[in-house]
Amino acid sequence: MLGVPCGGGAVMGSVSIAMATLNGARYLEVQLHSIAAQSRTPDELVVCDDGSTDETVNLIERFARTAPFPIRIARNSERLGYKRNFIKAANLCRGELIAFCDQDDVWAQNKLQRIISAFKDPEVLFAFHNATVVDARRSPVGQTFARTTATLYSPLDLPPWTIIPGFSQVFRRSLLRYSHLHDQSVDVYCPSEVMPHDQWFLFLASVLGTAAYLPERLAQYRQHRANSSGWLPSRPLAYAFHSVTHARYYARSASAAVENRLSLLAHMRQHSAGTEADRISSAVEHYLSVQRYAELRNRLYESKSLRRRVQSIVSLVKARAYTHRRANFGLSNLVLDMCVGLPLGPAFRKP
């Protein structure tokens, strides 16, 4: 039995899986079987296919005939891209809790059972877990997070630049009420695009409630050449070179993203009340502070004046913008700004 009904047609305690697919037949079958083998089976699997031309849909349809839970398949009439496709899949889900699922990973048998235990705390809106990063042949190459202890993050504790892969996320369906604003969002790393689904729900949850982290590796996060997005490759020299040549671009992107989040919060505040309205107001104050830091850092890479660049660095350090847990540009960016931004400023014009 699922339990008692809750708001929005969902069922209390029910769990939906939202999967976005596109030509994933090569790895999909293994992932589907790992879902079927869950110690706590989902109450439904919702698949949004973005125009696959391989056997993806046929595989899902065959799997649906014997799966121990309902499966619904939506075939997009036009390609949405993975970001909007995942958002669509989430909005089609009926469960109280929604778990994102990539088409090419492999879940540990206790993944759902373990992650949904975090929601016993009513303040938790969002939970995520660690995972083993594997290559195309499922040989381990790393892990997604270094933190080894379970952690609860209060509203706004996670810096705006935090990356949490979607496959490791589960969230309450209450966050779906802001889905109409997603098309107005800006990707913090690519401001010409909307936020990825994982960045979007992390943003909402970090404003409105508590996020829970589980250190257990509850999935194998497969990396291969066809990934739409993924884990940063373990090539430190290549990554360092990219960071240097794109430093100006990412400083500008961060500034644009913070401005966008303030705009989103203004829209959210118009449709909120009570505790939620208070938290959104607190988030506005927080992002106004972060906006100042982001503008100072952007000035560092845009200004031709060495004096102004020195002033920017001094202001950022005094404000603890590199170390304060809620802004936290990070010590690596401090080194980058001191070694690249301060002496060179706008010299790097990539991309």
117-145 pLDDT per residue, tens: 999 999 999 999 999 999 888 888 889 99
Return the closest-CA partner of residue 88 out of 96, 100, 70.
Answer: 100
pLDDT at 179 over 50: yes
Instruction: Give percent of the chain above pLDDT 70.
Output: 92
CB-based burial label for 35 (10 Å; 0-12, 13-18, 19+): buried
Rounded to two decimals, what is the model's pTM? 0.91
Is the pLDDT assigned to residue 61 strictly greater than 60? yes
pLDDT average, residue stretch 296-305: 94
Encode pLDDT of 227-275 as tens digits: 555 545 545 677 778 888 889 999 999 999 999 999 999 999 998 999 9
Q: Does residue 349 register a pLDDT over 90?
A: no
Give the residue, 60 or 246, on which the prediction is more confident.
60
End-to-end CA distance of the chain: 54
Is residue 304 a contact partner of residue 349, using CB atoms and an 8 Å limit?
Answer: no
Q: Show the domains of the chain with their CATH numbers.
A: 7-222 (3.90.550.10), 236-347 (no CATH)
What was the pLDDT predicted at 234?
47
pLDDT attached to residue 1:
26
Structure tokens at 261: 């989040």
**pLDDT tens, position by position, 64-121:** 999 999 999 999 999 999 999 999 999 999 999 999 999 999 999 999 999 999 999 9
pLDDT band at residue 2 under the 50/70/90 scheme: very low
Q: How many residues does the chain have?
A: 351
| 119 HSE (CA, 13 A, CB side) | 22
Q: What does pLDDT average to over the chain?
A: 91
Selection from 50, 51, 58, 59 nearest residue 28 by Cα: 59
Phi, psi of 121 (to 5 degrees): -80, 115
Q: What is the pLDDT of residue 113?
A: 97
Write down the pLDDT at residue 224: 62
pLDDT band at 348 (very low <50, low <70, confident <90, very high): low
